[in-house]
Amino acid sequence: MTSLYYALMIALALGAYFLVRSRAAALAGGQTLHSRPNYHGLLAAAQVIIPMILIHFVGSVLSARFVEYQSLVAMDPALLTDELRRGAAFREIREFASGRGAANATQALQAGAAMYAYLAALTNWAVLGLGLAVGIAMSLFSLRSISGEFRARNRFEHVVRYLLMACATVAVITTIGIVFSVLFETFRFFQKVSPVDFLFGTHWSPQTAIRADQVGSSGSFGMVPLLVGTLLISSIAIFVAGPIGLFAAIYMAEYASPKFRAWAKPILEILAGIPTVVLGFFAALTVAPLIREVGTSLGLSVASESALAAGLVMGIMIVPFVSSLSDDVITAVPQSLRDGSYGMGATRSETIKKVVLPAALPGIVSAFMLAISRAVGETMIVVMAAGLAANLSFNPLDAVTTFTVQIKTILVGDQEFDSAKTLAAFALGFVLFFFTLTLNVIALAIVRKYREQYD
Residue 297-326 contact track with other proteins, rule CB under 8 A, x = bound? --x----------------x--xx--x---
Q: Please state the closest distance from residue 113 (CB atom) to other proteins, in A.
A: 17
Identify the three-state secondary structure at position 145.
coil
CB 90 within 8 A of CB 119: no
Query: Binding to other proteins (CB under 8 A): which residues in 131-190?
Result: 153, 157, 160-161, 163-172, 174-175, 177-178, 181-182, 184-185
Identify the three-state secondary structure at position 100.
coil
- CA dist 419 to 185, 221, 242, Å? 11, 12, 41
Identify the three-state secondary structure at position 256.
coil
Based on the shown chain and the rule CB under 8 A, indicate whether residue 256 belongs to the binding site for other proteins: yes
- Of 306 and 404, CB closest to other proteins: 404
Measured distance CA(352)–CA(357) in Å, rounded = 6
Centre a 10 Å sphere on the Cβ of residue 20 and count the other Cβ atoms it contains. 26
- Of 123 and 139, CB closest to other proteins: 123
Q: Which span (44-52, 122-130, 246-254, 393-401) binds other proteins, by CB under 8 A?
A: 246-254
The residue within the footprint of other proteins, chosen from 99, 275, 335, 453 (CB under 8 A), is 275
Q: Please state the closest distance from residue 37 (CB atom) to other proteins, in A.
A: 15
Based on the shown chain and the rule CB under 8 A, indicate whether residue 252 belongs to the binding site for other proteins: yes
The residue within the footprint of other proteins, chosen from 78, 349, 354, 358 (CB under 8 A), is 349
Q: Which span (24-32, 132-140, 210-218, 252-260) binds other proteins, by CB under 8 A?
A: 252-260
Q: What is the per-residue DSSP string for 182-247?
A: HHHHHHHHHHHS-HHHHHH---EE----SSTTSTT-S-EE--HHHHHHHHHHHHHHHHHHHHHHHH
- Of 23 and 261, CB closest to other proteins: 261
**220: which strand partners?**
205
Q: Please state the closest distance from residue 150 (CB atom) to other proteins, in A.
A: 16
Based on the shown chain and the rule CB under 8 A, indicate whether residue 348 belongs to the binding site for other proteins: yes
Q: Which span (112-120, 131-139, 213-221, 345-353) binds other proteins, by CB under 8 A?
A: 345-353
Query: Binding to other proteins (CB under 8 A): which residues in 430-449?
Result: 432-433, 436-437, 440-441, 444
Query: Binding to other proteins (CB under 8 A): which residues in 16-75?
Result: 61, 64
Query: Binding to other proteins (CB under 8 A): which residues in 69-128?
Result: none
CA nearest to 250, candidates 328, 313, 336: 328
The residue within the footprint of other proteins, chosen from 276, 306, 326, 366 (CB under 8 A), is 276
CB 380 within 8 A of CB 277: yes
The residue within the footprint of other proteins, chosen from 251, 357, 393, 397 (CB under 8 A), is 251
Measured distance CA(79)–CA(108) in Å, rounded = 11
Maximum pairwise Cα distance, the chain: 97
Q: Please state the closest distance from residue 429 (CB atom) to other proteins, in A.
A: 4
Q: Which span (5-13, 134-142, 283-291, 327-335) binds other proteins, by CB under 8 A?
A: 283-291
Q: What is the per-residue DSSP string for 312-361?
A: HHHHHHHHHHHHHHHHHHHHHS-HHHHHHHHHTT--HHHHIIIIIHHHHH
CA nearest to 400, candidates 409, 389, 408: 389
